[in-house]
Chain A
Amino acid sequence: VSTASSSKRMEDVRIKFEFCGERRILMFGRPVQFEEVQQKVKTFFGQQLDLHYMNNELSIPLRNQDDLDKAIDLLDRSSNMKSIKIMLLTQEQSNAS
């Protein structure tokens, strides 16, 4: 177990949101609440958007606290990942993909 990953667990969680080709980073205090993330997205992007966790080529919809916890767990275990990447899609876009 590296000291890097244990100290990471104390830090705020950085979430990198991508919407319409623009990337924005927000920090969330632990424990990160799913509702809080949804609310922030609504405030910052002006509408309710679906969250999709991005990891390399993989995209997984984040639908609840459990999904979010798993994404944060992956961040904490990774030694080189410094933020969680979330793609924001409108409901029409989500259904199309």
Chain B
Amino acid sequence: MLLLVLNNLCSMESEGIVIRIKTPVGDMDSSVDSPSHLNFSDLLAAIKDVMPEATVTAFEYEDEVGDRITVRSDEELKAMLSYYCNTVMEQRINGLLPEPLQIFPRAGKTPG
């Protein structure tokens, strides 16, 4: 769990986001109170908690056209969150409940 304060990244939001980590054994939701303060290594650490046996160095998300986008740095994470916040705003405008942000860890070989 990552507990922080929110600011301008999600300007229309005030209650944080939920990141859904998709793993081969099931989904794990992690709430992030402040997406703007989230960094890449925090998220990798959260993934490692969920999948302690795997070596994860990157993860993917799906963009608006369904392409899998790989994230390997803070800068790409920022682009992902900005995309997600826009999606949430659109869902709210259309009266829909925002979907969690789904990420797909890119697991390396399991040692042993």
Which positions in A face B, CB cutoff 8 Å? 12, 14, 16, 22-27, 44, 82-83
CB pair A26–B67 under 8 Å, yes or no, is no
Chain A interface, DSSP helix/strand/loop, else mixed = strand
CB pair A27–B82 under 8 Å, yes or no, is yes
B76 CB contacts on chain A under 8 angstroms = 24-26
CB pair A25–B73 under 8 Å, yes or no, is no
B70 CB contacts on chain A under 8 angstroms = 22-24
Q: Answer whether residue B69 sits at the interface, using C-beta atoms and an 8 A cutoff.
A: yes
Chain B interface, DSSP helix/strand/loop, else mixed = mixed
B63-84 interface bits toward A, Cβ cutoff 8 Å, 1 = contact, 0 = none: 1100111111101101110110
A23 CB contacts on chain B under 8 angstroms = 67-70
CB pair B79–A25 under 8 Å, yes or no, is yes
Interface centre among B68, B71, B79, B82 (most CB of A within 10 A): B79
A22 CB contacts on chain B under 8 angstroms = 70
| 49-105 of chain B: CB within 8 A of chain A | 63-64, 67-73, 75-76, 78-80, 82-83
CB pair B73–A16 under 8 Å, yes or no, is no
Cβ distance B3 to chain A, nearest Cβ, rounded Å: 26
B64 CB contacts on chain A under 8 angstroms = 82
Cβ distance B57 to chain A, nearest Cβ, rounded Å: 13
